[in-house]
Amino acid sequence: MVQAFYHDNKDTESDFTKEHNSGIPVSLEQLESIGVFYRRVDTEDELNAIAKEREYKNRDSVKLNVETFKNDLDAFNAQMKKFYKEHYHEDEEIRYVVEGEGYFDVRDKEDRWIRTKLVPHDLLVLPLGCYHRFTLTDEAKYVKAIRLFKDEPKWEAINRDLNRDSEARQEYLRTIAA
């Protein structure tokens, strides 16, 4: 089951894969209030049912570890830093963890980081327009995940430092304002 807590904001460029738990837990209801959908999914049938209900038509599988980068540690670290840069997408980001573990950080309504630790059987859906970042955990340094998509994948990451508020971002802000 997902662990969610406020990030301690003490991460550095060299230790962002550490837990950084502030000791302040975050409930599933708090995640739902910012549009984050979480489910524990134990079977492929359950995953398929959620995909059908939420109209996800496509999927793929991804493995992420240093071996994915042909044991090139510099390439692996560069990709981890890229994933950890705060961004949003103009489509939902859906991940189902099959093996390994990772952290998805999302911003709450007050712009504080919430860290979610995902392990096998965790399904997390981040709404379009929601600022987030991702990293592997320091312990596992590996994840195998199924990515689900409504249509064809939209891969553009819109980094926060660009100050680009697309319609997707504006709609997200309207959704959580209530």
The tokens describing 113, both together, are: 């980081």
Sheet with 143-149, edge to edge strand ranges: 37-40, 122-126, 93-100, 143-149, 58-64
Binding site annotation covers 89?
Answer: yes
Maximum Cα–Cα distance across the chain: 47
The length of the chain is 178
As separate numbers, helices (DSSP H) first and strands (DSSP E) second, the chain gives 4, 12
**87 belongs to an annotated ligand binding site:** yes
Question: Please, are residues 36 and 125 in contact by the beta-carbon 8 Å criterion?
Answer: yes
Alpha-carbon distance of 101 to 17, in angstroms, equals 11
Q: Is 7 annotated as a binding residue?
A: no
Q: Quick check: 44 and 51 in contact, CB under 8 A? A: no
Q: Does the annotation flag 20 for ligand binding? A: no
Long-range CB contacts (within 8 A, 24+) of 20-23: 20/115, 21/115
Binding residues for Fe(2+): 87, 89, 93, 132
Binding residues: 87, 89, 93, 132
Binding residues for Ni(2+): 87, 89, 93, 132
